[in-house]
Structure 1
Amino acid sequence: MTYVRTDISLALSGCKALLFDLDNTLVNTEIHHIRALSLALQEKLGYSFTFADSQEYIGITSTEMSRRILARVGRTDVQAEELSQRKHELVMQAFSAQPYPGVREFLRAQQGQRRLAIGSNSPREFVLSCLQRCGLLDCFCPIVSRGEVTSPKPAPDIFLRAAELLGVQPAECLVFEDSAAGLAAAQAGGFATVLVLNPGNPLPDPLPEAIPMLTWPQLLRAS
């Protein structure tokens, strides 16, 4: 496989809009989601859930993750939606995170040059709250979350809806993602992609071929 690791200047120069995933792409939210889910599972099921357990569920929605966990432990007395909602309540109560180093500077450098949008598998309430707390809410319009489309990632619906609202074609966009599901969603919709490398994030498996893979400091220098 061939990976373009350092230079995306050409890709940036040819696009009208940048579409961003939120969780673990712009902001390190994973630990907060895992902690909240662990508390919800302990509360509802008496089930112990660790960070290591969470790694097999990267890139899927909380409801789907809850559904798989319930199937694994053989519990039918609790609904996946109920568990996911409790996890959402807990993460909203305790959430505190900041953007990865370089994110703010990169976004500010791009504002005025290109349209910026969010395409996230998280609930809209969480996305808006997270962006507001991080001081990034004014950077993005539109903001598309999982509740506004028929199918979440890895289906392309979220990114296609964002492009539609922006009035641009997928070929005129560049998508920034961290997960296999997100990359698959973007590529299924005909979008060019960038794999953002953040500290502590595992590489997606499998890795798509010939895509830029960069950290935020590298992206900032390229902009």
Structure 2
Amino acid sequence: MQAVIFDMDGLLIDSEPFWKQAEYDVFSSVGVEVTSELTALTAAMTTREVTEFWFAKQPWYDASLEEVENRVVERVKYLIETQGQAMQGVHDLLNSLQQAKVKIGLATNSPKDIIPSVLQRLNIADYFMAYSSADEVSQGKPAPDVYQLTLEKLGIEAHQCIAFEDSLGGIKAALAAGIKAIAIPHPDEFDHDKFDLAPHKLKNLSEFNHQLGKTLLARS
């Protein structure tokens, strides 16, 4: 195990509620009726995809899509920088990987501007050798692009690497890039059979150990 790549939202930081809050605040402000049923569909989208989704449902005319998208990003950044909390096991696992000289990367569908806010809020920036956003590639997760870019930045082959993901789209992206993915589902979804796609599943990052990583990579 020469490298580990982490997803960000919902895995390193409990930011999913911030995205929902920002989505409601910003799109409501331009006249969109935001419903919980429809926000369930936008959870795995990039910020641009979410903006285009709501515009297609209920168009607005007093601001460009880019302006509205930027408002969402700025709102999420503010919430992260003032309220963000690390998920269970984040600091201990990062420290353990660093001590073992394992390269650490990050691959997220979130805008690139948000990544430094998360790393600084959690005081974990020094652990990461590379990070990539869907902003930098042609397609976000579940396409493999963001993982492939992070592998390139780390100088690592996919078969030497493990990914941690909390969403089905993220797991699909990692597997499509040739990386063994460990699912860390939200507790409400832990028993959902969709996560059977992942080679392994844990309740939180604290349950991971290096032997598990080696065993996983040894599987054909």
TM range (shorter): 0.7 to 0.9
Query: Deviations for 1:20-59, whole angstroms, at most 9, x for unmatched residues?
Result: 00000111101111111111011112x2325554222222
Partner of 2:25: 39
Distance 1:70 1:111 in 2: 43
Distance 1:120 1:176 in 2: 11
Query: Deviations for 1:50-99, whole angstroms, at most 9, x for unmatched residues?
Result: 555422222210110121122122x1635443322111121222322111
Q: Which 4+ stretches in 1 moved above 4 angstroms?
A: 200-205, 220-223
8 A contact 1:178–1:196 mirrored in 2: yes
The code of the aligned residue for 1:62 comes to: T
Q: 1:201: Cα distance to partner?
A: 5.8
Q: Which deviates the most, 87-96 or 205-214? A: 205-214
| 1:185 aligns with one of 152, 161, 173 | 173
8 A contact 1:66–1:83 mirrored in 2: yes
Partner of 1:65: 50
8 A contact 2:134–2:140 mirrored in 1: yes
Partner of 1:48: 33
More helix by share: 2
Greater relative CO, 1 or 2 (CA 8 Å, sep 6+)? 1
Distance 2:198 2:5 in 1: 19
8 A contact 1:124–1:145 mirrored in 2: yes
Question: Which residues in structure 2 correspond to 1:84-95 (within 5 Å)?
Answer: 84-95=69-80
8 A contact 1:119–1:144 mirrored in 2: yes
For structure 2, the residue ranges without an aligned partner over 5 or more in a row are 214-220
Question: Which residues in structure 2 correspond to 1:103-118 (within 5 Å)?
Answer: 103-113=90-100, 114-118=102-106
Q: Which deviates the most, 135-144 or 145-154? A: 145-154
Distance 2:113 2:177 in 1: 25
Q: How many residues matched?
A: 207
TM-score normalised according to structure 2 size: 0.85
TM-score normalised according to structure 1 size: 0.84
The code of the aligned residue for 1:167 comes to: G
Query: Deviations for 1:158-200, whole angstroms, at most 9, x for unmatched residues?
Result: 1111111111111111011111111111111111100013445
8 A contact 2:165–2:171 mirrored in 1: yes
8 A contact 2:47–2:111 mirrored in 1: no
For structure 1, the residue ranges without an aligned partner over 5 or more in a row are 1-14
